[in-house]
Amino acid sequence: KAGVTQTPRYLIKTRGQQVTLSCSPISGHRSVSWYQQTPGQGLQFLFEYFSETQRNKGNFPGRFSGRQFSNSRSEMNVSTLELGDSALYLCASSFSSGANVLTFGAGSRLTVL
């Protein structure tokens, strides 16, 4: 079966712009979690969506937002980009909320210039 698909894989933006990243979970999975990975901070949890509702949120500013659609696909948006937002953004899906066995996508690598 198809895995978790993230688009785009790579993108370059400039400071002040905004970006939207997309994640299509495994068919039948209703939970989508987002993580940010940087060399300095490692993997940090952003938020989790289940059945179109945000179930959990990490310690990120309000510039980071997300949503989930009725087909479980999810998007995350970062507004007013800063240089420090350069990172690998990973999406993971699971059947239920709060699951421990997650299937991750390959990630979207964002570079902010």
Partner 1 sequence: DAKTTQPPSMDCAEGRAANLPCNHSTISGNEYVYWYRQIHSQGPQYIIHGLKNNETNEMASLIITEDRKSSTLILPHATLRDTAVYYCIVRLLQGGSEKLVFGKGTKLTVNP
Q: Can you give the binding site for partner 1, defined by CB under 8 A? A: 4, 33, 35, 42-43, 45, 48, 55-56, 58, 88, 90-92, 96-107, 109
Q: For 46-66, give the secondary structure using H, E and C.
A: EEEEECCEEEEECCCCCCEEE
CA 92 to CA 85: how far, in whole Å? 19
92 in Cβ contact with 35 (< 8 Å): yes
Q: In this complex, which beta carbon is closest to partner 1, that of residue 16 or of residue 61?
A: 61
Q: In this complex, which beta carbon is closest to partner 1, that of residue 73 or of residue 109?
A: 109
Minimum gap (Å) between residue 57 Cβ and partner 1: 9
Q: In this complex, which beta carbon is closest to partner 1, that of residue 61 or of residue 98?
A: 98
